[in-house]
Structure 1
Amino acid sequence: MPGGYFGRALLVDVTGGRASSLALPEPVLRGYLGGAGLGTWLLHRLAPARVDPLAPEAPLAFVFSPLVGTPLTTSAKFAVVAKSPLTGMLNDALASSHFAISGKLTGHDAIVVRGRCARPSVLLVDGAGARLVDAADVWGLPAADAERELVARLGRGWRVAAIGPAGERGVRYATLSHDGRHAGRGGLGAVLGAKNVKAVAVHAATKVAPADPAAVLAAARDLRARSFGPATAKYRELGTLANLLTFNAINTLPTRNFTAATFAEAPRLAAEDLAEMRRVARNSCASCTIGCEHVYRAGGGKSARVEYENVFALGPLCGVSDPDAVLTASARCDELGIDTISAGGTVAWAMECAERGLLDAPWLRFGDGAALLRALDEIGRRDGLGALLAEGSRRAAAVVGRGSAGFALQVKGLELPGYEPRTLQAMALGLAVNARGADHNRSGAYEADLSGDLDRFAGGEAHVRATVETEDRAAVMDSLILCKFLRGVFTDPFAEWAGLLRTVTGWDVDATELQATARRIVLAKRMFNLREGWTPADDWLPARLLEEPLTLRSGRVASLSPATLRAMVDGYWAARGLDRDGRPTSECAVDLLLTEAVAT
């Protein structure tokens, strides 16, 4: 077995508490690495075709990687992979914490949960195997409170990933959390909740050695030094919230459900002002030297971890400028266990519906912080209007009808992050075609838009190339796994990542092989979605973005035409070796290793 791996996944059927081991052949590990890549392979093998994401037989996989447990900075990450109850397609969500290290050191490259417990339970995994314990006393608690209670009960060394009340109640964008970090997008907390599992607790029981410990240590020292450089300065000093004023200045801050791209009151929410008045701490994830986490004081004596995406989604997108309301809303999402982007996107859609008279909710208006908090509470409880909004904007729009789907800002069911596609047209393509849906982490094409190397207002062939390149880089980083905040420190990414992988595994891997691995992972995700009902129409954007031009502060009109998007999507399909309907040709599907023989 190569260094950094155990070569097996633990399969736990919580219906009866039975556990078994699935052997992971070396070609599969080398072909998919770990994290999101290996999770994709596991879902192909273990998920029944067209399975309901909330059915007992739907698998949920916690997937580790070869770099976890090494001293390489930012490597303490894990992927949670399942079929999304929000999109009905493949979803992988990443989190950074000590759970990744302890989970891997149970002696497994992945822990897969299937079945449904008869009563609320916690799954324990350690050197003795897997077992279930009662969770009645922590059911209903926020994830952080449940984690504290369980650690106090189980003892030192246990690490706990838990869901909040929203996951228990099946909110389709519920999160899964450990130590305040969240596997946030796509509703994987609801998948665990549907299994009557409140939490998974892990305890390290063994060790795994790299192939060349001295080389790994030298690489870790070098990477650590580079991680303190200018490429990560923004994250250390102000965090990702530093993007808010920048995006506002260049007309790419989605506002009031994407009816505008600037927010007049953005300075009230900017890191430059809030940090001085409200920042109470700056923290780092496990095994991280960057320290991007910024904690601010919210209302009621609470604190909130602040990033650009949660402030965008609960602030400008909903027209809310009151810092107390936005920070309190962010803390409320964490308590309930819901994704801030999908929560903000769905509430913004509902605000527009209410103002148009499509929903009987006169209390729900843009700019009203109290209304935002009420909506979040109702979503978390699944009562009142929340029973509808807990389904996400796509399903809610199908119920409301009357043209509301045109301004439900989602792709494949996943609500859009804080990037305006009409003024970032490489990103527009990335949002349209990504397997997870509207996502900025699996398709970081905004990097190309903001680089100045192409015209971000006019999509074309260069935007296609940029989308493919950023998607490939993300596929490798999410499978190794390394934090994307490190991406700027690598001057020759694939070659440098191959070097790290060589020192850990002993494989003679090079940049060319890793580029092929990236393409394999991206294609395997698409193949899974095809199996689950993907159609060519799913690689598209909402009507508002294609039919409603934006008038910018300069007077310039920004628009994205259906013809431009069509040409870019077709170009992307061709670049990926897909046919004219976006489906893999037989030639490009032969190297996916999806039929690799394994033993249980």
Structure 2
Amino acid sequence: MSAGGYFGRALVVDVGDHEVTSAPLPLEDAVLRAYLGGVGLGTWLMHRLAPAGVDPLAPEAPLAFVFSPLVGTPLTTSAKFAVVAKSPLTGLLTDALASSRFAIAGKLTGNDAIVVRGRAAELSVLLVDGDGARLEPAPELAGLAAAQAEAAVRERFGRGWQTAAIGPAGEQLVHYATISHDGRHAGRGGLGAVLGAKNVKAILVRSATRVEIADQTAVLAAAKDLRTRSFGPATAKYRELGTLANLLAFNAVSTLPTRNFTAATFADAPRLAAEELHELRGVARNSCASCAIGCEHIYSRKGGGQQRMEYENVFALGPLCGVSDPDDVFAASARCDELGLDTISAGGTIAWAMECVERGLIDAPWLKFGDGAALLRALDLIGAREGLGELLAQGSRRAAEVVGNGSIAFAPQVKGLELPGYEPRTLQAMALGLAVNARGADHNRSGAYEADLSGELDRLDGGPAHVAAAVGTEDRAAVMDSMILCKFLRGVFEDPFTEWAALLRSVTGWDVDAAELRATARRIVLAKRVFNQREGATAADDTLPPRMLETPLELGSGRVAALTAERLQAMVAGYYSERGLDEEGRPAPEAEAALLLGG
């Protein structure tokens, strides 16, 4: 019998041969306790179910929707799920988190994970509920945006189903296609392409049961306390202006990547800032399912309609591409939603292509920095994989390998994943976090920028303190992504591991404490690294693009920000030491054996 908060099983569905297996999670509580759920359990499942060296778009490559012990409880922000697979963009492990009613309904099908394998004979949808899983042909959904597909399947199957779907980019196997639901996206690493390769347009889930909780009274008390704290100063920025509030702040401290990371400030940043847009265009504020924070800010669009805007999509489709007109950035963000494209990888790849055009390496004179119409045209070509879009659909790293002529030096990626909106040369704890993270250039699995911006260390001079910050934020993220709780809550916990352990005790009944959770965090981080090494990753991948290590940034008033290869290598070595890894970034055999990955 599994602990409270779990069903103790994963549903594995082969959409090619229609085989459905309800698989008990081996070692029952031992594995669940070791990996918790979400990203942690998804990582363990990939070790067990993904054949070594598998092509991410092959039928035998698994795609896992993974839930957590907190889903379905009244704890704020707990309605989240993880999607985990081998990435077509990086060739390594990837995961993405999202919030919606899909998380609750998916868990209450009676499974801790739903794993999809195989390839359907025709475009189909997969339905999962208390009766198991069944595949239904749905050729009429071809080419629809995810939101349109959601509406169509609800009309066909009923409103009791919750849906996660891909857009046209997923069907076309664009390497950074997303999986969408309720207007939100499991965005990074090309998970939409993995689902598209299985000829599955959508997954539908319907609640069929309930999950037992060990101490309902304690959970209700914790939920009331956490909800109260979620209205405090730690989340005020997100409630008042949303993540877009970061734009002017980052611009002021020269950490807003601009024109493909050739600069760290954008003169027209105020035109795109939350402060101005809130006054001129703000129309609503919304929350994810089971969330008390309400960080989602919705703005009016030129010509009608509304658009949810976040810092990362504004950065990637605005300053990174030199585009300053908010109407163009809004339209580009909406186009990414319609096509099902990760905005960070789309913007980063297009910005790289714009620089290639400037240098005469790509013959597309229409694709210029600052041209909003060109940005939209490029997105359409990517979504259809036509013309230049066929090249750009592969992401900046693979496109640079095709174009050659040294263009890889300014491709804004780590391990194939495009960089988010944080300038590594002026945020050097974050630089390390981006370099070593298993997913690639990632601000959600390694939020070391918080330490850089705290004022407690010199963000322009990386060293041992930056290593400690990177390790600490990576550990905290590993637990939050596996329990799962929203990162916007991170500031409300005074003693995070102790408080998270208390939440787990009330839900599961385990006698877990802070020390155990710290060990769990390190186990999850290490298991990700071991998976990547199995797939061919080496220490040479723990680095940044040459541009970041060879070209200093002029900050004005005679100030320069420089991150040398030697400094980064020293921090990486420190990270390896802190993680108990050898000089090649590998764990000792006994440490790897303790991860419970074999057998």
**TM-score, with structure 1 as normaliser:** 0.99
- Choose the corresponding residue for 1:270, options 263, 268, 273: 273
Given that residues 303 and 331 in structure 1 are in contact (C-alpha distance below 8 angstroms), is that contact kept between their aligned partners in structure 2?
A: no
Matched to 2:14, the amino acid is: D
- Choose the corresponding residue for 2:539, options 524, 536, 541: 536
> Counterparts of 1:191-590 in structure 2 under 5 Å?
191-590=194-593
Structure 2 CA distance for aligned equivalents of residues 226 and 202 of structure 1:
32
In the other structure, the counterpart of 1:595 is 598
Matched to 2:3, the amino acid is: P
Given that residues 173 and 189 in structure 1 are in contact (C-alpha distance below 8 angstroms), is that contact kept between their aligned partners in structure 2?
A: yes
Deviations 1:229-255 (A, max 9, x none): 000000000000000000000000000
Matched to 1:28, the amino acid is: V
TM-fit CA distance, 1:127: 1.1
TM-fit CA distance, 1:180: 0.6
Matched to 1:462, the amino acid is: A
In the other structure, the counterpart of 1:92 is 95
TM-fit CA distance, 1:280: 1.8
Given that residues 299 and 325 in structure 1 are in contact (C-alpha distance below 8 angstroms), is that contact kept between their aligned partners in structure 2?
A: no
Q: Secondary structure at the match of 1:587?
A: helix
In the other structure, the counterpart of 1:4 is 5
Mean CA deviation greater in 132-141 or 293-302: 293-302
Structure 1 CA distance for aligned equivalents of residues 435 and 494 of structure 2:
28
Matched to 2:85, the amino acid is: A
Query: 5+ residue gaps in structure 1?
Result: none
Structure 2 CA distance for aligned equivalents of residues 187 and 373 of structure 1:
20
Structure 2 CA distance for aligned equivalents of residues 338 and 135 of structure 1:
22
TM-fit CA distance, 1:17: 1.5
Structure 2 CA distance for aligned equivalents of residues 368 and 589 of structure 1:
50
Matched to 1:414, the amino acid is: L
TM-fit CA distance, 1:214: 0.6
Deviations 1:176-203 (A, max 9, x none): 0100110000000000000000000000
In the other structure, the counterpart of 2:180 is 177
TM-fit CA distance, 1:371: 0.4
Q: Secondary structure at the match of 1:552?
A: strand
Structure 2 CA distance for aligned equivalents of residues 509 and 308 of structure 1:
36
Mean CA deviation greater in 126-135 or 439-448: 126-135
Deviations 1:349-369 (A, max 9, x none): 000000111000000000000
In the other structure, the counterpart of 2:19 is 18
- Choose the corresponding residue for 1:43, options 41, 46, 71: 46
Matched to 2:362, the amino acid is: L
Q: Secondary structure at the match of 2:556?
A: coil
Matched to 1:442, the amino acid is: R
Matched to 2:29, the amino acid is: E
Given that residues 36 and 478 in structure 1 are in contact (C-alpha distance below 8 angstroms), is that contact kept between their aligned partners in structure 2?
A: yes
TM-fit CA distance, 1:589: 1.7
> Counterparts of 1:22-33 in structure 2 under 5 Å?
22-24=23-25, 25-33=28-36
Q: Secondary structure at the match of 2:453?
A: helix
TM-fit CA distance, 1:135: 1.3
Query: 5+ residue gaps in structure 2?
Result: none
Given that residues 302 and 328 in structure 1 are in contact (C-alpha distance below 8 angstroms), is that contact kept between their aligned partners in structure 2?
A: no
TM-fit CA distance, 1:99: 0.2
Given that residues 65 and 479 in structure 1 are in contact (C-alpha distance below 8 angstroms), is that contact kept between their aligned partners in structure 2?
A: yes
TM-fit CA distance, 1:21: 1.3
Mean CA deviation greater in 17-26 or 241-250: 17-26
Deviations 1:551-581 (A, max 9, x none): 0033301000011000000110111110011
TM-fit CA distance, 1:480: 0.2
Given that residues 341 and 416 in structure 1 are in contact (C-alpha distance below 8 angstroms), is that contact kept between their aligned partners in structure 2?
A: yes
Structure 1 CA distance for aligned equivalents of residues 471 and 585 of structure 2:
14
Structure 2 CA distance for aligned equivalents of residues 182 and 17 of structure 1:
27
Identity rate, percent? 77
TM-fit CA distance, 1:593: 1.0
**TM-score, with structure 2 as normaliser:** 0.99
Structure 2 CA distance for aligned equivalents of residues 251 and 155 of structure 1:
50
Structure 1 CA distance for aligned equivalents of residues 307 and 87 of structure 2:
26
Structure 2 CA distance for aligned equivalents of residues 495 and 37 of structure 1:
19
- Choose the corresponding residue for 1:65, options 65, 68, 81: 68
Matched to 2:588, the amino acid is: T
Matched to 2:539, the amino acid is: P
Q: Secondary structure at the match of 2:598?
A: coil
Structure 2 CA distance for aligned equivalents of residues 579 and 279 of structure 1:
51
RMSD of Structure 2 on Structure 1 (CA) = 0.7
Structure 1 CA distance for aligned equivalents of residues 310 and 563 of structure 2:
28
Q: Secondary structure at the match of 2:48?
A: helix
TM-fit CA distance, 1:156: 2.3
Matched to 1:128, the amino acid is: D
Structure 2 CA distance for aligned equivalents of residues 53 and 437 of structure 1:
16
Deviations 1:54-93 (A, max 9, x none): 0000000000000000000000000000000000000010
TM-fit CA distance, 1:451: 0.6
TM-fit CA distance, 1:302: 3.1
Q: Secondary structure at the match of 1:578?
A: coil
Q: Secondary structure at the match of 2:91?
A: coil
Q: Does 1:53 align with 2:53?
A: no
TM-fit CA distance, 1:216: 0.2
Moved over 4 A (4+): none
Q: Secondary structure at the match of 1:182?
A: strand
Given that residues 255 and 263 in structure 1 are in contact (C-alpha distance below 8 angstroms), is that contact kept between their aligned partners in structure 2?
A: yes
Deviations 1:15-41 (A, max 9, x none): 022100111111000000000000000
Q: Secondary structure at the match of 1:272?
A: helix
Structure 1 CA distance for aligned equivalents of residues 132 and 210 of structure 2:
16
Structure 2 CA distance for aligned equivalents of residues 557 and 110 of structure 1:
49
Matched to 2:457, the amino acid is: L
Structure 2 CA distance for aligned equivalents of residues 467 and 426 of structure 1:
6
In the other structure, the counterpart of 2:189 is 186
Matched to 1:460, the amino acid is: G
TM-fit CA distance, 1:138: 1.2
In the other structure, the counterpart of 2:129 is 126
Structure 2 CA distance for aligned equivalents of residues 470 and 359 of structure 1:
39
Given that residues 106 and 203 in structure 1 are in contact (C-alpha distance below 8 angstroms), is that contact kept between their aligned partners in structure 2?
A: yes
Structure 1 CA distance for aligned equivalents of residues 480 and 556 of structure 2:
37
TM-fit CA distance, 1:281: 1.5
